[in-house]
Amino acid sequence: MPVSKVEILGVTVDSLTMTEAVSRVEGFIANKKPALIATANAEMIMNATRDEELKNILNGADMVVPDGAGTVWAAHQLGCDMPERVAGYDLAQELLRISPSKGYRVYFFGSAPGVADKAKAKAEELYPGIEICGTRNGYFSEDDENQIVEDIKTAKPDILLAALGVPKQEKWLSKYKDVLGVPVNIGVGGTLDVMAGVMERAPLWMQKAKLEWLFRGLKQPSRIGRLMALPRFVFKVLGSK
């Protein structure tokens, strides 16, 4: 069944629920052809307005989920239906949760040295029977990339979670997904950091109040400059109506 799409500042985002997103991922795995999934929040969409390569990657992706209250708000402002936010962290957890029963193999790639291994231990604790078939930190040079590609190919994951930050993770996955042959390739930002306990996620009440951006700013003052993308995003969306 075709999923409706919403164009927000030149980036096409899928209008779907978490259940629908998980179902589509399962379809990609069954299909066995490499699929690229992006998690579009306001900051990513604003980046894409200035980065043509990123915009083209997003518009060519197999699925772009609305990761962020700002993305859902923008869709509604533009008169389009978007049922709910599908946060990248939550999507990753749903996929990890079903992986043991489905027999999915998962690879963690990104974050600082040691973080992916801690995230692996947490996943094994939360989701008994899960098969994390490999980990690799996100600190590497261009010379390391061929070895990383070979390591991932050898591990044969069904799902590759890449936590390299935007837009590096989207560009890396777009460049290598066909060579890797992994059915599902997702850029997941700070997901491994949160799982490893290195970064705290906003309390549930702040998530529900759509204030995760404020929590991140308070916890990481160095992000304030990046968080200014949100008001710029709001003005740009209102101006595009």
User: For the chain, what is the largest distance between any 2 Cα atoms, rounded to a whole number of angstroms?
Assistant: 50
**Average confidence (pLDDT) over 210-236:** 65
pTM of structure: 0.90
Q: Write down the domain spans for the chain.
A: 5-196
If you search the block for the tokens 């949160």, which residue do you land on?
194
pLDDT, tens digit, 9 for 90 and up, residues 73-106? 999 999 999 999 999 999 999 999 999 999 999 9
CATH of domain 5-196: 3.40.50
What is the pLDDT at residue 183? 98
pLDDT, tens digit, 9 for 90 and up, residues 126-158? 999 999 999 999 999 999 999 999 999 999 999
pLDDT, tens digit, 9 for 90 and up, residues 26-41? 999 999 999 999 999 9
Alpha helices in the chain (DSSP H): 18-31, 42-50, 52-60, 69-77, 88-102, 115-126, 145-155, 168-180, 191-196, 204-208, 212-219, 224-227, 229-240
What is the pLDDT at residue 220? 59
